[in-house]
Amino acid sequence: MAVPDLDLARIRAYCDAKVPAHLRDEARVEADPRGNSVTIHDCRPPWHERLTEWSRVPVAQLRYEPATTGWTLYWADRNSRWHLYEDLDADQPVQVLLDEINDDPTGIFWG
């Protein structure tokens, strides 16, 4: 089972709201679903004239568990390896994870 449509819509709305529309040529926050997980990336435009692709830095990964219909939050280290975010219990509603990412009490997501 893939990620529920309503939860994916909430995640995408969160990402869209992170950067005002008039600044999206300077920064974007994107959600990429894959299987039972959604990865949130901080995206920036090419910083050098020879570059054409936007850079993408993983911020958080939300993993859905169909058996419990709950979500678990992960953070990426400097090598883009995922680690369980231990300050929040597993199997939470998706909005709880988005609030935690937004509030970022540990500074692990947005710095």
Q: Is residue 110 part of a domain?
A: no
What pLDDT is attached to residue 8? 98
Tokens 């089972």 found at: 1
Domain count along the chain: 1
Q: Is residue 27 part of a domain?
A: yes
Question: Is the sign of the CA dihedral 85, 86, 92, 95 positive or negative?
Answer: negative
Q: Is residue 111 part of a domain?
A: no
Q: Is pLDDT at 87 greater than 70 in this prediction?
A: yes
Q: Is residue 109 part of a domain?
A: no
Q: Is residue 9 part of a domain?
A: yes
92 falls in which pLDDT band (50, 70, 90)?
A: very high
CA angle in degrees (0–180, nearest 5) for 77-95-42: 40
Residue range 29-51, pLDDT digits in tens: 999 999 999 999 999 998 777 77
Q: Is pLDDT at 96 greater than 90 in this prediction?
A: yes
Domain that holds residue 65: 5-103
Q: Is pLDDT at 91 greater than 90 in this prediction?
A: yes
Largest CA distance in the chain: 48
Q: Is residue 108 part of a domain?
A: no
Q: Is residue 22 part of a domain?
A: yes
pTM of the predicted model, to two decimals?
0.92
What pLDDT is attached to residue 47? 79
Q: What percentage of the chain exceeds 70 in pLDDT?
A: 99
Q: Is residue 69 part of a domain?
A: yes
